[in-house]
Structure 1
Amino acid sequence: MDRQKTSQTVPAGDADDGDDTSVDEKRSPLILTEQVWRKRPAYSSPLPDDKSITLSRWTIPEQPTPVEFRSDGNEDSHIITYSLRQSSVDFWMEGQRVSNGRVTPHAVLMTGPGQPGRAVFYKVFDSIRMYLPQALLAECHEGAYGRPPNQDIVLSHPHFVADQKVRHLVEALVLVDQTDGAMGRIYVDSIGLAIGARLIALHGERRNPVDRSQGLSAWRLRHVIEYIDAHLSSPIGLAELANVAGLSRMHFARRFREVTGQTPHQYVLRCRIMRAQQLLCSPALSVTDIASALAFKTTAHFSTVFRHIVGESPTQWRKRLR
């Protein structure tokens, strides 16, 4: 093998024009650049709680010689790595060889907490990484078994995930759009919760099904709707809504969809658009003013969501009122 470099941080280099299936170069603020291999980066603003997942992007540019990375395994999260392009990597976790050469686009690799690793990259590599904290999996475990886990959860040995449901959920996170803005976090939290629940379900049969008699009652739903209505000008997270309902995030998200036919994320978007229609009746407010007042990061994103729900742009809809 050619002489190789050992490093922990991303090396400098030039990316080639190979078979790139990466996400759009308009980077989402929810997907951080990972500077140290398999070390979770920190958002500039604190996460809503310790159950929130972290998204990062790890990229290796073209190198003249193979480059090696090592991780000490200090992370307490389960880590999912989604390959954005074909590459060539030798990868070991806890001394076990996980990848021997070719890595295909869309491959989903999952590793557990506290697992030291080593990798040798021979070609350009581009991936999205998801860090699933223990608190998230503990919540999913309690939702599945009706009790919290009695120790830290370790779902499996390092492996490439074959389950299509997990892969589709992961891809939903990979395609987080830059203009999701204030609505992005509730979307990410909801998908992260679904991934955690699916992984727990795959880990073992549900031996102690949870008592589902406590649903989203009419009064709980009313409190949630009132809370949403009063906070449309601010970002709204899944944990906030679950707390208002007095339920776990997992239980709340499932029950909310059963009752309303929509996910919390979809419902909040529709409420913002309904409020926007009211504000559009006032000629004193511009479309940009309304987008900002309803926590949309950009006017373009507001217009896209409005058109998707209403069927025409805010400007077209306002003209029809005249």
Structure 2
Amino acid sequence: MEASSSPAGGSLADSLKSYIRNEDAWRLPAQADASGAAASGAASAISAHLALSRWAVAGIGAGLPPQELSATTPADSYTVGVNLRSTDITFLHDGRLTYEGRVMPGMFQVTSPGHSARAVFHAACDVLHLYVPQAVLDACHREVSGNESAVSVLIDDPAVSHDPCIERLGQALLLADEAFTSFGQMYVDSINLALVSRLLELRMRSPTGGRPGQPKMRKSALPKWRLKRAVDYIDSHLAEAIGLEDVANAAGLTRMHFAAQFRAATGLRPHEYLLRRRIECAQQLLADEEYSLLDAAQLAGFRSQAHFTTVFKRMVGSTPKRWRDTQDAGA
């Protein structure tokens, strides 16, 4: 995935390649393009200190062995990882296992200053990393609270979580209907600042330090072996009609107990997880010119083209046709 400058009038995905740089090493901020136009206005002093990079590796699990990577966050900043595609991962924070299993697009993790992270990717991965200095968090907090003497804010929950707003912001960095050429850097800086704002919002909603808006996963998450049965069943029956009871039976639980524990383990309701897997399947099919839009919809398990288009646009940010055209243009 090479970063390159985009011609005038190109797609957003092309234009952003100059602003979202690829990392040479995992969680190592890529150097910003000094020629990019800086954001202006009240937020410029804050957004100018945010760095955004992308880490993507293809072929893991399909020829390449799992990749084990480690990094330590600098003493004065945070590393925010936002997942862009489903993958299988083992993640450790300060040497302690934090997450193991399937992560879906929109799931994120925050590593606070001075702490270490180690990850083993068992499948192809694509992650955005936003690097946020502690001073930026504090400046945002002071601006919102109106208290110039406010104590330093701390985000100290290293758990892997899911938030729909952060998922949409990640999509917004990659996909849009209009091209950005002259204002691309301002656009990216604005989304970066929105991500920081959302993280602070979630932190303010969670005074006890738990995961805001998320179930208490430690006590009620679906055991790994049951989760694997459920995921394997879904993956092998995508083209068929799948009901909650079907997946629960595969995991060996009743519908009620399965749904709650599945959401605790993945951050998603079973039906939402199923839709995401179907969309990912459809994307793989759409990348092959052999399949029509209707073929992709049906083989991914959608019973109507209209439903397929609606779900695809909600999750990916564009219609199936426009997404395919973008892939073809970038080939």
The two structures have a TM-score, normalised by structure 2, of: 0.48
| Larger Rg computed on CA atoms | 1
